[in-house]
Amino acid sequence: MINKSAFFFVVGILGMPAFALDVGEYDLIDLSHSYGSDTLYWPTSPSRFERKELAFGETDGGYFYSAFSICTPEHGGTHLDAPLHFSAEGYPTERVPLHNLIGPAIVIDVAEQAEANRNYLLSADDVHAFEDRHGRINPGVIVLLHTGWSQYWPDPNSYLGDDTPGDASKLEFPSYGEDAARLLIEERKIAVLGVDTASADFGKSKDFVVHRIAAARNVSNLENLTNLDKLPPTGFLIIALPMKIEGGSGGPVRVVALVPK
| pLDDT single digits (tens) 106-143 | 999 999 999 999 999 999 999 999 999 999 999 999 99
pLDDT tens column, 137-163: 999 999 999 999 999 999 999 999 999
Amino acid type, 37: S
Task: Report the C-alpha gap between 152 and 33 in whole angstroms.
Answer: 12
| C-alpha of 122 from chain center | 17
**pTM of the predicted model as reported, rounded to 2 decimal places:** 0.92
Neighbouring C-beta atoms of residue 260, cutoff 10 Å: 10
Residue (of 112, 118, 85) closest to 204 by Cα position? 118
Amino acid type, 242: P
Q: What is the DSSP string of 236-260?
A: EEEEEEE---TT-SEEEEEEEEEEE
Mean pLDDT of the chain: 93
Average pLDDT of the residues in 202-211: 98
Query: Could you tell me if 227 and 31 are in contact, meaning their C-beta atoms sit under 8 angstroms apart?
Result: yes
Query: Could you tell me if 101 and 239 are in contact, meaning their C-beta atoms sit under 8 angstroms apart?
Result: yes
Q: Go through the domains of the chain in sequence order and give each one's CATH number.
A: 24-47+74-260 (3.50.30.50)
Neighbouring C-beta atoms of residue 243, cutoff 10 Å: 16
Task: Report the C-alpha gap between 15 and 103 in whole angstroms.
Answer: 26
Amino acid type, 90: G
Query: Could you tell me if 254 and 28 are in contact, meaning their C-beta atoms sit under 8 angstroms apart?
Result: no
Query: Could you tell me if 141 and 219 are in contact, meaning their C-beta atoms sit under 8 angstroms apart?
Result: no
Average pLDDT of the residues in 247-260: 98
Percent of the chain with pLDDT over 90: 91
Residue 9 has a pLDDT of 43
- Strands (DSSP E) found in the chain: 6-10, 18-22, 26-30, 50-58, 64-71, 79-81, 102-109, 121-122, 142-146, 175-176, 192-195, 220-223, 236-242, 250-260
Quick check: 10 pLDDT over 50? no
Amino acid type, 42: W
Residue 21 has a pLDDT of 79
Three-class SS state of 235: coil
pLDDT band at 18 (very low <50, low <70, confident <90, very high): low
Residue 19 has a pLDDT of 57
Task: Report the C-alpha gap between 142 and 101 in whole angstroms.
Answer: 8
